[in-house]
Amino acid sequence: MTDVAKSDDASASHPAVAPLLTLRGISKSFPGVRALDQVSLEIYPGQVTALIGENGAGKSTLVKILTGIYQPDAGEIAIDGTPVELGSPHRAALQGITAIHQETVLFDEISVAENIFLGHAPRTRLGFIDWRALRRRAREVLGAMGAGHISPDTRLKELSIANKHLVGVARALSIDARIVIMDEPTAALSYKEIGELFTLIEMLKADGKGILFISHKFDEIYRIADRYAVFRDGQRVGAGPLPETPQAEIVKMMVGRSVDQIYPKHAATPGDVVLKVDDLSHPTEFDGIRFELRRGEILGFYGLVGAGRSEVMQALFGLTRTSRGSIELDGQVIAPRSPADAVDAGIVYVPEERGKQGVVLGLPIFENVSLPSLKRTSRHGVLRLKEEFDLARAYTERLDLRASSLSQDVGTLSGGNQQKVVIAKWLATGPKVIILDEPTKGIDIGSKAAVHQFMGELVAQGLAVIMVSSELPEVMGMSDRIVVMREGRMVTLLDNKNLSAEALVSAAAGIRGDEA
Amino acid sequence: MSELTSNDTAPRRIPDRLGSPLRARLLSWEMLLLAVAVAIFIANSLASPYFLDAWSLSDLTFNFTEKALIALAMALLIISGEIDLSVASIIALSSTLMGMAVQYGVGTPGLVAIGIGTGLLCGAFNGLLVTRLGLPSIVVTIGTMSLFRGISFIILGDGVYKGYPSSFGFFGQGYVWWVISFELALFLVTAAIYFFVLHKTSFGRRIFAIGNNHVAAQFSGLRVGQIKFVLFCLTGLMSGIAAVLLTSRLGSTRPAIAQGWELEVITMVVLGGVSILGGAGGILGVVIAAFIMGLMTFGLGLLNVPGIVMSIFTGMLLIIVIALPILFRRLRNAKPA
C-alpha cells in the first residue's frame, strides 16, 4: 500500500506501533444531549483512521474537542502516551493537531503564502515578517506536495475548493502537524480532485502523520483508510482494521440500534393526491425531483446532510427559486415566490433551525402562534386579543404544551416546547401540506414522542405530511413512503414495507452492490 | 383544516397571562420617564420665574414637535430593525423644493403637497434601496443623507428662499385654540394614531415580530420587505410634514436647515425606550421622551447655556440611554436566578 512498511504490516491486524494519539473515556454533554459518552479512539502514525457514523453520532463534537474548541467533561487525551490539555485551538495547534474542514477555515482575502504560515511566519531579525522567506518556503512546501501550480502570491479566494484544500494540507505540513483531521474533505470535490487529495494523503502517511478521516462515502473510506471507528449516539460501537471488515458489517454497526422507540403506527388510508411535484430543479442544489403526496400520508425524505433535502423543501415553501419543473397543489399549478405565497396556498414549513427560523424569540407564545393567522384573528386590521388567546390555546393544548401562561416568552421554553409552538402556529392556519424539517432534532425524548404522536393524529385527519429526517428510526418508524436523496438527486422512492435499515443507508451513501 | 377533535383527556388549561398587567405597567420605563419629566419640569420652574406661564410653556413645545413627529415614524422603523439617518436631509430637500416652487408662484396647497410628496418619495427611495437591493439601512441612509442635502446645496448654493405666502405661515406659527399651537395639536393627534397602529393593529404586531427576528418572521409567512418599505415611506412622509412645519415657522429655506436633527430624533426614540437593536419599545415612551427633550432644551436655554453645549448634552444623553438598558440587563443577570 505504501512504502512505510512498518506501519503497513501493523495495520494489517494488530498494530505493533504505539498510537500517536489516544483518547480514553471522553464524555461531553450539552443541555439535554449527551453528545459523547465514554468514547475511546486511537490514531496511529502513518495510518488513516476513518471515523464513521450517522449525523448526530458525535463525530463533529469529537473533532471540536481535538481541535481545542470544546473541552471534554471527562476523559483523557494523550499524545505519545503523555496526557495533554487541549484548552484552546491555539494549544491544540501547538500539540501538532490540525484540521481541514468541510468549509476550510482559511482566510479568503489574504495570499496563499500568508495562509500557510499564518501565526508562525518566518521573521526577520527585527521581528518583522520576512516576506521573501515566507514566499520561498511556501513555494517549497507546495512544490514538495506536487502542488507547484499554486502561486504563493495568489489570493486564496481565487482558488478552487480543491486547491484550497491543498493549501490547508500545506499549512498542516508547514506547522509540522503530526495529527491531521480531515472532516469530509471531499464533499465539494470532483472525481479528479479527490484523486489528487488522496495522493497527498498517501504522502502524509509516508511522512508518519496520523490522519483522522471523516467521510460518509464508503468507496473513499475503503480506498484510503487503514482503520475505522464507528460512532453511534455518542458512543464508539466498533473499531478495527479496515480492508478486512466488510461494508455490510460497518453499516450494521452504524444503524445497529433496534427501533426501540415505539412509533405510533397511524392508520394510513392515503386519499387523493394533494401535492404533485414534477421535475423540480434548482441551478445548483437539486435536480429532477418528482413525487406525489397524498392526503393522510407521511412522506419521509432521507439522505445525508447536504443531499439537498432542505433545499427542496425551501423551494416548496417559496424561499428558493427553481429553474425548472412544476408544483401542483390540489390540481392547481402554484409558483410560490415567498413563504407568504406558500402559506396562502396551504403549504407550511417547520424549519430545522428552530431558534432562528421557527419561533420569534422575545415574543410571547400566543403572539408566535397567531403570527401567520393575524388576518383571521383581527378585524379590519385591529387586533382582538381574545381571539388570539383562544386560537393559541386551542392548538397549544392539543400539542400538550408545557407553559405557565400563554404570555410567557417563547424563548424561556425548552426546545421541544418551542417546536410545539411552531407546529401549533402552522396548524392554526389550516394548511393542506405540512413540511417538517428534522422535527425532533435536539429535543428531549418526551417532546419527541408528543411530536410523533401528533404527526400520527394529523394524517389521521387527512393532512399530508412531508418529513425530512436524518434519524433512521424516525424515518422508518413514521413514514409511509421514503424518498432517498443523494447529492441533489432522488436516488429512489421506497415503500416503507419490509424495508431494511441497511438498504436505506446504503442508498443514501451510494453503496452499490448486493448488500443493499 | 377543520376543528381538531380529541377530547378523551382534557388537557391542562394554560392561562392567558400571569400576574396583573397593571403592576408591570407601574414599573415600566414609561413611568420612569414620566418621573424624569416631572423632575425637569419642577427644576425649570424653580430655575426661572418666567417658566410657569401658559405662553412660555406653549413656546416650549415648538422645540420638539417637528422632531417628535418624525420620531413617531422612526420608532416604528427602529422597532422593525431598520433606521433612517437621512430624515434631516429629507427636510432640507423638501424645504428647498417648496422654496423653489414659491419662485414659480405656487400657492399654499401646492407647497404643502410638494413638501409632503418630496418626503414620501425620498422615503420610498430609501425603502427601495433597502428592501429591493438588500442593503443595510444604515449604509443606504448615510448615503442618501449626503445625497438629499447635496441636491439642496446644488439648487440653493449659499442662497436663501423667501417669500412664502402669508397663509403658509399658519402651519408653523398658527394656533388652533388659545395656547395650543397647530404643531402641538398635530403632534398629539398623530401620536394617538401611531399608538393605535403600533399597539392595536396586526400591522403593528408584525413590526414587532420582524424586529425581533426577521428571518423567523419571513418563515412565518410575513411579507417582511413590503412592511419595511411602508415604514420607510412613513418616515419620509413624516419628514416631509416636518419640513412643511419648519419651513412655515422659519419663513425661509437655507440648505443647512434642520442640520443634525437625525441625531435628536433618534435620541428621542431611544430615550423613549425603543431598543436600538429592534423588536421592543412603544409610542407612549417616545411621546414622553419628546416632552423631556423639549423641557431640557428650554431649561438649558433659560440658563443661557450655549447651543454647542446642548449638542454635547444630546450626545451624552444618547449614549446613556443606549447604555442604561444594557447595564440594567447585566446587573439583573449577575444576580442569581
Residues of chain A found within 8 Å of residue B80, distances taken between Cβ atoms: none
Closest CA to A150 of A115, A177, A184: A115
CA distance B277 to A445: 35
Residues of chain B found within 8 Å of residue A367, distances taken between Cβ atoms: 205, 208-209
- Residue A164: which pLDDT band, with cuts at 50, 70 and 90? confident
User: What range defines the domain where residue A52 resides?
Assistant: 5-96+178-255
Q: How many domains does chain A have?
A: 4
CB atoms within 10 A of CB B274: 29
The string of pLDDT tens digits covering residues B41-50 is: 998 888 888 8
If asked whether residues A91 and A111 sit together in one domain, one would say no
How many contacts (CB atoms, under 8 Å) link A and B?
120
If asked whether residues A191 and A163 sit together in one domain, one would say no
User: What's this model's pTM, rounded to 2 decimal places?
Assistant: 0.73
Domain boundaries, chain B: 57-324
Residue A63 falls within a domain, yes or no? yes
Residue B147: per-residue pLDDT: 97
Of B16, B213, B279, the CB nearest to A407: B16
- Residue A264: which pLDDT band, with cuts at 50, 70 and 90? low
Residue A316 falls within a domain, yes or no? yes
The string of pLDDT tens digits covering residues B21-54 is: 665 665 678 888 898 899 989 988 888 888 888 8
Residue A56: per-residue pLDDT: 67
If asked whether residues A194 and A138 sit together in one domain, one would say no
Which residues sit opposite A483 in a β-bridge? A301, A493
> Looking at per-residue confidence, does B335 or B86 come out higher?
B86
Closest CA to A21 of A64, A58, A66, A53: A66
A430, A449, A476 - which closes a domain:
A430
Of A343, A349, A363, the CB nearest to B209: A363
Of A392-396, B171-175, B318-322, the least confident? B318-322
d(CA B204, nearest CA chain A) in Å: 9
If asked whether residues A342 and A266 sit together in one domain, one would say yes
d(CA B235, nearest CA chain A) in Å: 21
If asked whether residues A168 and A127 sit together in one domain, one would say yes
Closest CA to B91 of B328, B262, B275, B227: B262
Residue A105: per-residue pLDDT: 64
Residue A355: per-residue pLDDT: 83
Measuring CA to CA, how many Å separate A273 from each of A105, A243, A286, A294? 46, 47, 23, 4
If asked whether residues A251 and A272 sit together in one domain, one would say no
- Residue A266: which pLDDT band, with cuts at 50, 70 and 90? low
d(CA A178, nearest CA chain B) in Å: 43
The string of pLDDT tens digits covering residues A328-370 is: 999 999 999 999 999 999 999 999 888 889 999 889 999 999 9
Residues of chain B found within 8 Å of residue A363, distances taken between Cβ atoms: 208-209, 212
Residues of chain A found within 8 Å of residue B2, distances taken between Cβ atoms: 430
Stated as kind and residue range, the H or E segment containing B258 is: none
d(CA B26, nearest CA chain A) in Å: 18
Q: Residue B72 burial (CB < 10 Å; 0-12/13-18/19+)? A: buried
Stated as kind and residue range, the H or E segment containing A39 is: strand A33-43
Residue A352 falls within a domain, yes or no? no
Question: Is the Cβ–Cβ distance between A214 and A187 less than 8 Å?
Answer: no
- Looking at residues B181-189, what average pLDDT do you find? 96
Residue A121 has pLDDT above 60, yes or no: yes
Residue A515 falls within a domain, yes or no? no
Residue A166 falls within a domain, yes or no? yes
Stated as kind and residue range, the H or E segment containing B198 is: helix B182-200
The string of pLDDT tens digits covering residues B91-111 is: 999 999 999 999 999 999 999
> Looking at per-residue confidence, does A414 or A486 come out higher?
A486
Q: Say yes or no: ipTM exceeds 0.90.
A: no
CA distance B80 to B71: 14
CATH class of B57-324: mainly alpha
Inter-chain residue contact B201 with A401, CB threshold 8 Å: no
Residue A354 falls within a domain, yes or no? no
Residue B57 has pLDDT above 50, yes or no: yes
Residue B238 has pLDDT above 50, yes or no: yes
CA distance B302 to B57: 12
If asked whether residues A139 and A60 sit together in one domain, one would say no
Give the mutation candidate from B4, B5, B14 for the A interface (greatest A CB count, under 10 A).
Answer: B14
Domain CATH for A335 = 3.40.50.300
The cell numbers describing A294, all together, are 397524498
Stated as kind and residue range, the H or E segment containing A315 is: helix A309-316
Of B200, B217, B280, the CB nearest to A382: B200
If asked whether residues A342 and A194 sit together in one domain, one would say no
Residues of chain A found within 8 Å of residue B205, distances taken between Cβ atoms: 367, 371, 374, 383
Residue B333 has pLDDT above 70, yes or no: no
A124, A141, A176 - which closes a domain:
A176
- Looking at residues A288-317, what average pLDDT do you find? 90
- Residue A103: which pLDDT band, with cuts at 50, 70 and 90? low
Question: Is the Cβ–Cβ distance between B80 and B272 less than 8 Å?
Answer: no
Share of chain A above pLDDT 70, in %: 90
Stated as kind and residue range, the H or E segment containing B288 is: helix B283-302
Q: Average pLDDT over chain A, rounded to whole? A: 84
CA distance A453 to A456: 5
> Looking at per-residue confidence, does A130 or A10 come out higher?
A130
Give the mutation candidate from B220, B226, B329 for the A interface (greatest A CB count, under 10 A).
Answer: B220
If asked whether residues A234 and A220 sit together in one domain, one would say yes
